[in-house]
């Protein structure tokens, strides 16, 4: 019987890939903190900006998010737990399979886990983290231990095998009990790692060959599973690029509205001080207020008319607001030119009501 320590350290003495993965995850987290992410929790908007897996974005041609999401974490606790599991299990698995095969198991598990997450959550969850890939390592670890059980000390085998199995099962159970844990990614990663452990197995000491049939069956099962997942990718609710464009236009409108409102107030204050004709006041209102609200109204009207966009309701409210403010400014200018105090009061009241309706409760 062999000691697991002797078996592994004579195979692959160094674990550069595990260390590299830990380092990359730490660097990405530090970069996110420097970019405004929270230490204990990051909002979905921050995660999306850094490449989280999210149906409308991933399915909008940004399939790289299935990979980038593997290096994102939602806070220090999330990062610490994942890196602890990666460091603890990754060193063993890298020695069991070698650097290249270890990397193949890690990335295929993470990508497949994220693909299953996309399908299981119908593209509506914002997900990220290395846990899917890490679960893949534990799946490969269990396959290796089971395959070599007759070559290992029985007590050592029981300790490592049932310890790893208990960790995986307990974590999956917690995933079903605690909201926010992406168990789909965990399950997808674990199964991929187990199949990868069969396909990429290498014999101990180069003596015992791994059955070719087992490799073919495991490889076929993995290929079939991925094909089924791809066929089940849900129809996206909306295009993320359209939502990003809409949010950009909303931000630009709000900034412009603040400037227009300030110009409106300056013109009214100047009119109250006197020394300027009604005709000139009306011209300034048309140019500095009415024309600009008209332009903003047109820009908002040209945004993608998709009611499924999260910002759709906001755009509709702002369009109505811009239209009311434009009409109020036009009515005010006409009242000034016609010297109609009642029309002037009504126009100012209309502008004030539009402002109040645009404010959140």
Q: What's the whole-model pTM score?
A: 0.82
The CATH code for residues 4-231 is 1.20.1540.10
| Catalytic sites, residue numbers | 131, 186
% of the chain surpassing 70 pLDDT: 92
Specify the domain boundaries for CATH 1.20.1540.10 within the chain.
4-231
Q: What is the pLDDT of residues 280-296, one digit of tens each?
A: 888 888 888 889 989 99
162-168: average pLDDT? 86
Partners of 2 in beta bridges: 152
Residues 6+ apart with CB under 8 A from 89: 134, 137, 138, 141, 164
% of the chain surpassing 90 pLDDT: 42
Q: What is the pLDDT of residues 47-82, one digit of tens each?
A: 988 999 999 999 999 999 999 999 999 889 999 999
Whether residue 165 is predicted with pLDDT greater than 50 in this model: the reply is yes
pLDDT band at 227 (very low <50, low <70, confident <90, very high): very high
Which pLDDT score, from 0 to 100, does residue 361 have?
47
Torsion of CA 257, 261, 264, 266, to 10 degrees: -130
């Amino acid at each position: 019987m062999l000691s697991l320590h002797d078996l592994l350290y004579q195979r692959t003495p160094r674990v550069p890939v595990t260390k590299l993965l830990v380092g990359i995850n730490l660097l990405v987290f530090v970069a996110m903190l420097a970019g405004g992410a929270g230490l204990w929790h990051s909002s979905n908007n921050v995660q999306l900006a850094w490449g989280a897996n999210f149906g409308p974005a991933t399915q909008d041609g940004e399939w790289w998010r299935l990979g980038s999401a593997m290096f994102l974490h939602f806070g220090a606790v999330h990062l610490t737990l994942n890196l602890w599991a990666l460091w603890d299990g990754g060193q063993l698995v890298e020695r069991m399979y070698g650097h290249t095969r270890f990397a193949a198991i890690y990335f295929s598990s993470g990508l497949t886990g994220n693909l299953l997450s996309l399908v299981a959550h119908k593209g509506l969850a914002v997900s990220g983290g290395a846990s899917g890939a890490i679960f893949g390592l534990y799946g490969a670890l269990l396959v290796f231990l089971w395959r070599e059980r007759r070559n290992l000390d029985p007590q050592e085998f029981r300790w490592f095998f049932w310890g790893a199995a208990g960790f995986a099962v307990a974590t999956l159970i917690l995933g079903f009990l605690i909201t926010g844990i992406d168990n789909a990614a965990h399950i997808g990663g674990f199964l991929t790692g187990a199949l990868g452990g069969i396909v990429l197995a290498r014999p101990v000491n180069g003596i015992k060959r791994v059955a070719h049939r087992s490799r073919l069956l495991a490889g076929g099962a993995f290929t079939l599973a991925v094909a089924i997942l791809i066929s089940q990718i849900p129809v996206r609710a909306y295009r993320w690029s359209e939502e990003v464009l809409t949010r950009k236009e909303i931000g630009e409108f709000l900034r412009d509205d603040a400037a227009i409102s300030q110009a409106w107030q300056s013109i009214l204050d100047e009119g109250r001080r006197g020394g300027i004709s009604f005709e000139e006041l009306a011209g300034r209102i048309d140019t500095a207020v009415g024309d600009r609200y008209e332009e903003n109204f047109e820009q908002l009207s040209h945004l993608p008319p998709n009611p499924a966009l999260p910002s759709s309701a906001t755009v509709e409210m702002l369009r109505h607001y811009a239209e009311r403010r434009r009409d109020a400014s036009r009515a005010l200018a006409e009242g000034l030119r016609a010297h109609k105090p009642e029309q002037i009061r009504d126009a100012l009241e209309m502008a004030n009501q539009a402002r109040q309706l645009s404010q959140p409760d």
